[in-house]
Amino acid sequence: SQKIEQNSEALNIQEGKTATLTCNYTNYSPAYLQWYRQDPGRGPVFLLLIRENEKEKRKERLKVTFDTTLKQSLFHITASQPADSATYLCALDGNQFYFGTGTSLTVIP
């Protein structure tokens, strides 16, 4: 079955720094990978999608990379702000839809 691993530890960074979150997967070669943000007690919110033929995707302060050889995606938030504090989930599509366990990010003012 599909296995998705994200940074197991919570990530704490100083405001203004770049946060980098990791998503590794096994047993599958997805055509695309998605990143979502989830705040406590709420449903996930879509952020970015990257396809297998794309190496990098950007949206404002967000950047996602996708290395299908390493089976890894990196998610970067540049110039981080306290409002970026949340849990970030990566997800990929097989015959089902698989989410990672998420990485909790705290941006310290």
Smallest gap from residue 109 Cβ to another protein (A): 25
Pick the closer one to another protein by CB: 69 or 95.
Answer: 95
* Nearest CA-CA partner of 90 in 80, 98, 81: 98
Binding site for another protein (CB under 8 A): 4, 31-32, 34, 36, 41-46, 49, 51, 89, 91, 93, 95-102
Smallest gap from residue 14 Cβ to another protein (A): 25
CA-CA distances (angstroms) from residue 101 to 5, 58, 88, 104, 109?
7, 23, 9, 10, 26
What is the token pair recorded at 4? Answer: 């998705």
Pick the closer one to another protein by CB: 15 or 56.
Answer: 56
Q: How do strand 103-108 and strand 11-14 relate by DSSP bridges?
A: parallel
Pick the closer one to another protein by CB: 14 or 27.
Answer: 27
Smallest gap from residue 16 Cβ to another protein (A): 28
Pick the closer one to another protein by CB: 31 or 79.
Answer: 31
In angstroms, the CA 108 to CA 44 distance is 22
Q: How do strand 62-67 and strand 97-99 relate by DSSP bridges?
A: unpaired
Smallest gap from residue 42 Cβ to another protein (A): 6
